[in-house]
Amino acid sequence: MIQLTDSPIDVAAVIAGVRSPDAGAVVLFLGTVREMTEGRETRMLEYEAYAPMAQRVLDELEAEARRRWPLVQCAVVHRLGQLPVGQTSVAIAASAAHREPAFEATRWLIDQIKQRVPIWKKEHRSDGASHWVHPGLDPPSAAQET
């Protein structure tokens, strides 16, 4: 299951999608919208994507994870749209015969998603300011915030 969605992520379905009698380990990572970032209160996050390209890169990452680790199943679901604090923005699950490859693949996938998938995140703060966030970029100056 590799999916972009505008609907809340069904975590139970993600887990069910990777469970197998062949898997002794199921690892689940959930990325959620947190309330505080660098001492500033977040009201919501907004995710946008060029869906065809994002889906293609997610599919490529899944294939690469399967080549790198002996996974039984793998699932990635990323939410798009406006998400309030507490909502799940991404769910990644991997199953394998043993825990080590499931843990390693899950961590690698979230790191690669943040670096390579064309999904953009805009942080909306409680003070009314908002700005686009991208891993590896310096935080925007006050002049860049809206």
Domain boundaries, the chain: 2-133
Geometric angle at alpha carbon 73, from 14 and 5, rounded to 5°? 35
* Homologous superfamily, domain 2-133: Molybdopterin biosynthesis MoaE subunit (3.90.1170.40)
Q: What is the pLDDT of residue 71?
A: 98
Pairing of the two strands 81-84 and 40-49: antiparallel
Q: What is the pLDDT of residues 84-136, one digit of tens each?
A: 999 999 999 999 999 999 999 999 999 999 999 999 999 999 999 999 986 65
Question: Worst-scoring range by mean pLDDT, 1-5, 37-41, 71-75?
Answer: 37-41
Given the structure tokens 């995710």, which residue do they identify?
47
Q: What is the pLDDT of residue 38?
A: 86
Question: Is 146 a residue whose pLDDT tops 90?
Answer: no
Q: What is the pLDDT of residue 140?
A: 46
Stretch 9-15: mean pLDDT: 98
For residue 97, the number of C-alpha atoms closer than 13 Å in the C-beta half-sphere is: 2
Of the chain, the end-to-end C-alpha distance in Å amounts to 36
What is the rounded CA–CA span in Å between residue 23 and residue 32?
A: 26
